[in-house]
Amino acid sequence: MVTFKVIILGNGSAVPTSFSNPSSQLLVHENKHFLIDCAEGTQMQLLKYRLKLAPINHIFISHLHGDHYYGLMGIVSTFHLYGRIKPLHIYAPKALEALINHHLEVSKTTLNYPLIFNPLEDFEGKDLYSDAVLRIRAFPLKHKLPTWGFRFCELERRPKIKKEFVGDHKPCIEAIRRIKDGADFETKEGELLKNEDITHAAPCPRSYAYCSDTAYHPPLTKYLKEVNLLYHEATFDNSMEEMAKEKFHSTAAQAAQLASDSQAGELLLGHFSARFKDPSILLQQAQAVFKSTYLTKEGNSYSVR
Ligand SMILES: [Zn+2]
């Protein structure tokens, strides 16, 4: 099974604490590393957990509240100091581009590498990123500022033909194509071999979705349908539902309701308010609605399965 996991670099909300870092995650798919949000201290968190900076070529910023992007300039600058030459792609709200450029201008820095800025506003209904095995899209959340969530989807894979079959029957290229499309195979002797007997079934495509800051917003199910692993903010507990609404954040139970309505496989909670040194109350309240819920823990990795 191809590696598909998320490593939590920070799961706290905006106010800094001595026991948590604000939002940042490293999503690893096969040998590709994607950074999702980049709060203050993110590069130190990468160092702390012995995660390499160099393989990161794509950074996704959900919105322009500081606890989701204040670490970005540090990483942009470190890449420059390391002598990076390969491009760095940043996907973020449009307004961030001018801010990055201003930082570079005032420090009289000309980056050694191309920084390719992709405004999220330009990608409605389009892929932010795609390759032969993975596709990434953004979708709008409901927050005080324009904010996006991200969904990482594996693409449908074709079945693999069994080696013994190829050795025994030496099928031509056309026959291989038909078998991969699901056809049976007729041997020279006229025996019909069933497709399921000559192939290894392709693994089901998996997906991961990230909902950073958002009010409870049932229409999000449209973007989260049957996601295998959902990360959703859970800033508050049930007693603070009014406050959650006012501040455009969610309670843990609301995150769980969304996971349930989206038929998600598993739910990860994060973006805990600084008042929850022990967020176990959030877990209890979410699990009452959606059993397969877990609290994120900084430094831990969670497989998409
Ligand atoms: Zn925010």
Q: Averaged over 93-101, what is the pLDDT? A: 98
Identify the CA nearest to 282 among candidates 1, 11, 9: 11
Taking 3-state DSSP, the helix, strand and coil percentages for the chain, each rounded to the nearest 5, stand at: 30, 30, 45
**pLDDT tens digits for 160-191?**
999 999 999 999 999 999 999 999 999 999 99
| Between 145 and 276, the higher pLDDT residue | 145
Q: How far is the CA of 147 from the centre of ligand 1 (A)?
A: 8
pLDDT (0 to 100) of residue 150: 98
pLDDT (0 to 100) of residue 14: 79
The chain-wide mean pLDDT, for the chain, equals 95
pLDDT (0 to 100) of residue 20: 86
pLDDT (0 to 100) of residue 273: 87
- Model-level pTM? 0.91
Q: How far is the CA of 67 from the centre of ligand 1 (A)?
A: 7
Identify the CA nearest to 228 among candidates 130, 303, 295, 121: 303
Q: Averaged over 9-14, what is the pLDDT? A: 90
**pLDDT tens digits for 52-82?**
999 999 999 999 999 999 999 999 999 999 9
Q: How far is the CA of 60 from the centre of ligand 1 (A)?
A: 15
Query: Which domains can be identified in the chain, with CATH numbers?
Result: 4-157+203-303 (3.60.15.10), 160-200 (no CATH)
Q: Of these residues, 37, 67, 213, 237, which one is catalytic?
A: 67
